[in-house]
Amino acid sequence: MKTLALSIGLSLACLASPATAQIVNPAERGKSVPKASEAPPAQGTEEVLEDSEEAELIVVTGAEGSPLAEEATIGSYYQPKWTDRRLFPTTRVYVRPEGSMEFEYWNRIKVPRNGPTTVETWYEVEFGLPHRFQLDLYAVTSKTGSEGELNLTEQKAEIRYALADWGEMWMNPTVYLEYVSRDNQPDKVEYKLLLGDEIAPGWHFGTNLVFEHELGGELENEYGVTMGISHTVIDDKLSVGAEIKTALVDVHADRGNYQKELEVGPTLRYKPNPNMHIDFAPLIGIGGESRAADIFLVLGWSF
């Protein structure tokens, strides 16, 4: 059994004024916040708090034209609130806010066209680091068939870096590198480009470009694309949508002769309370080379 030793250092920065903390939208970056006595009449969704004559005007604003709390700007990267939790099991978007942390418990059920079903359980911890970085650590157990043994089969470490604060670049590009240490199989590395944005009030979109390479054995390569689109049903509570996951897979001895995989299905995110979220995506395989089904259930808790 391989082990992956990881040392984590976290720097947490807190920004506070003597009286209040400030949340602004990207358009206000670089501008001084006016004093209450100098501020123009409030427009849209704004809240003015005055503790003294020197109190600052605090403006909390959602996306332009959006009344949704989940589209309000948060954190030092000026990202919308919906990005601070996983929206799609198969598609990542941006990074966690600096100083935040989350634990996630996954069940992934892989149902092949023929043969026994594999159930994987993932245990993941996510850390929002300074300078638009994110670190994720995973341990994965799996069991194949009713008679199979439950084994620790993978340990993963993932780092992400967002190229700019939210809204400063088209589709908010984020680069992603993951190393996978596997038991009794060659290790793998995975590279992704994460893209995502709001396409209209209440409509959120993400897509990932994926390249995965096996470091030994058959030197398998996987070239993939995932996409998700989600619509808010209840603000900051319930979102529903659809996901698609597609890949071409080949091996060193037969490069260019691809196994084609395509999975599609509905997706749901539910937040029963401010700290917890539940994601569910039962994907169905299309075509004979795809799995019959690939089902994801994620339970997350933010700290």
pLDDT above 90 for 219: yes
Does residue 67 sit within a domain? no
Q: Which residue has the higher pLDDT, 91 or 46?
A: 91
Q: Which residue has the higher pLDDT, 179 or 53?
A: 179
Does residue 129 sit within a domain? yes
CATH number at residue 203: 2.40.160.40
For residue range 23-35, list pLDDT tens digits in order.
444 444 433 333 3
Question: Residue 64's pLDDT is what?
Answer: 59
What is the rounded average pLDDT of the residues 86-104? 97
Residues 28, 197: Cα–Cα separation, whole Å: 19
Q: Which two tokens stand for residue 60?
A: 């909390």
Question: Residue 187's pLDDT is what?
Answer: 98
Does residue 73 sit within a domain? no
C-alpha distance from residue 274 to each of 85, 125, 280 (Å): 11, 18, 18
The sign of the dihedral angle between the CA atoms of 137, 99, 91, 110 is positive
- Give the range of the structural domain holding residue 253, as residue numbers without chain letter: 83-302
Does residue 78 sit within a domain? no
- Counting the structural domains of the chain, the total is 1
Question: Residue 150's pLDDT is what?
Answer: 86
Coil, helix or strand at residue 187: coil
Residues 45, 292: Cα–Cα separation, whole Å: 47
Q: Which two tokens stand for residue 140?
A: 């994965």
Does residue 76 sit within a domain? no
Half-sphere exposure of 255 (CA within 13 A, CB side): 4
Coil, helix or strand at residue 252: helix
Does residue 36 sit within a domain? no
For residue range 123-179, list pLDDT tens digits in order.
999 999 999 999 999 999 999 998 777 889 999 999 999 999 999 999 999 999 999
Question: Quick one: what percent of the chain has pLDDT higher than 90?
Answer: 75
pLDDT category of residue 105 using cuts at 50, 70 and 90: very high
Does residue 188 sit within a domain? yes
Residue whose token pair is 């309000």: 72
